Structure 1
Amino acid sequence: MFLKPYQTLLKALGPSQWWPGDTAFEVMVGAILTQNTSWRNVEKAIHRLKSLQALRPKKMHLMPHPDLAEAIRSSGYFNQKARTLHNYLDWYSSYSYSPSLLLRKKASRAEPIRKELLSIKGIGPETADSILCYALELPVFVVDAYTHRWLARYDSAAARASAGSYDLLKNMVQSDFQAHLAPDSLVQHFNEFHALIVRLGNAYCKKQNPLCPDCPLRRECENALA
């Protein structure tokens, strides 16, 4: 049931080209900084880190906590996020700050890496899966508040089946895509579907006063058809 809205959104909105970032590490940092804030605020923090030449894992790892916190102030919760970044870098350093070494040691399997990511204080399921999907390019779908909001309006039965569970909804999407799409294309499609849902939530499926008459999914969404 998820393939149809995905195809409709892709046709209507076009490719998202998400996640922005020049390196895998920049994507990792962005995934941590975007917690509980807008992407605009993250961009300011990323720009500041670049201006300090601190968007390199070894250099960031050595930054004193107050300096790192100040550099990412625009992202909000900056003290907490600075601690999370240092916690993350403690772990990442065990793989020599190398995505290729990490993937090689874990045989490019998402679950063992996800388990380690979730053991890092400050890293939750959405952040872990964002790193897996966008930075490490593994076939993992990212669920967020936009996903739950959209599904509750689009298909109430599916929303009830997911029971508000992050992992259950993630597995529902992944199973549907895996049943219909080529395995070597899943990374691209999971990436794109998540990005399209975020765009949908920002432009149409808003938390308050959704713009259902203009929504690309208006002909198939329960809420729009009601």
Structure 2
Amino acid sequence: MTPPIYDVYNTLFSHYGKQHWWPAESRFEMIVGAILTQNTAWTNVEKALSNLRKNQALNFQSLENAPREQLMEWIRPAGFFNQKADYLQELISNLRNKFDGSLDKLFNLEGAALRTELLSWKGIGKETADCIILYAARQPAFVVDAYTKRICRRHSWIDDKAKYDDVAKLFTDNLPEDVQLFNEYHALIVRICKDYCTARKPNCKDCPLKKFL
């Protein structure tokens, strides 16, 4: 039986409307945020981004010139700041050495080529790569995070053995290949999981998706 992927999207969109995600003022800020949000809550990332913003450091040149110790201090609220400083410096190094410091040149790569390039960078896994492809490069990629897997498991669309690409394929096989659609769907899944489909004590009785259970 084919999961009602598109019907679920329409129900969520009718319930919540546009989510205006990813919250960033530039493509570069979006990428930095995607790296910083690994293994932490977005509220912590916002504090780190605020530090960078206050110090005019949310751009390629400033991060390239920032001393490592200073960078770690700015991003400390996001946790794992030593490791994440490595990841950000790797980002800067690759952009400089391979793409002349230009996101435009990086994003001239498309689809599988862009994903392969990003996945070769230290600290960028599949979820982070797909976030960058979707939200910064504005190319179609369905982002699978812990919320996506939770929704899919609770509706019995996947089992516990399903891997990242299996879950992504579930959505891409059942949706038009559309950047804005993928964008909104990912954001709506995050919203429903925070409001109803929580990790503990989910409120299935009042959930807008209860008819799909």
Normalized against structure 1, the TM-score is what?
0.89
Shift, 1:22, TM fit:
0.7
Question: Residue type of the partner of 1:25?
Answer: F
Q: Deviations over 1:131-174 (max 9, x none)?
A: 110111110010000011111112x1x213x8320011111211
| Matched residue, 1:211 | 203
Please say if 1:190 is aligned against 2:194: no
Please point out which of 161, 166, 169 is paired with 2:167: 169
Shift, 1:204, TM fit:
0.7
Question: Residue type of the partner of 2:5?
Answer: F
Identity of aligned residues (%): 43
Number of residue-to-residue matches in the alignment: 209
Question: Residue type of the partner of 1:16?
Answer: Q
Please say if 1:95 is aligned against 2:95: no
| Matched residue, 1:159 | 158
Shift, 1:218, TM fit:
1.1
For residues 7 and 176 of structure 1, the distance between their equivalents in structure 2, rounded to whole angstroms, comes to 13
| Matched residue, 1:56 | 59
| Matched residue, 1:113 | 114
Structure 2 residue ranges without an equivalent (≥5): none
Question: Residue type of the partner of 1:159?
Answer: I
Shift, 1:103, TM fit:
2.5
Question: Residue type of the partner of 1:112?
Answer: A
Shift, 1:96, TM fit:
2.7
Aligned-residue CA RMSD (Å): 1.2
Instruction: Specify the SS of the correspondent of 2:31.
Output: helix
Which structure carries more helix by proportion?
A: 1
Q: How does 1:1-226 map to 2 (within 5 A)?
A: 1-93=4-96, 94-104=98-108, 106=109, 109-154=110-155, 156=156, 158-160=157-159, 163-178=161-176, 183=177, 186-221=178-213
For residues 174 and 91 of structure 2, the distance between their equivalents in structure 1, rounded to whole angstroms, comes to 32
Instruction: Specify the SS of the correspondent of 1:72.
Output: helix
For residues 66 and 110 of structure 1, the distance between their equivalents in structure 2, rounded to whole angstroms, comes to 35
Q: Deviations over 1:53-76 (max 9, x none)?
A: 111112102212111011000001
Greater displacement, 24-33 / 116-125: 116-125
Shift, 1:213, TM fit:
1.2
For residues 171 and 99 of structure 1, the distance between their equivalents in structure 2, rounded to whole angstroms, comes to 27
For residues 3 and 46 of structure 1, the distance between their equivalents in structure 2, rounded to whole angstroms, comes to 34
Question: Residue type of the partner of 1:197?
Answer: I
Normalized against structure 2, the TM-score is what?
0.94
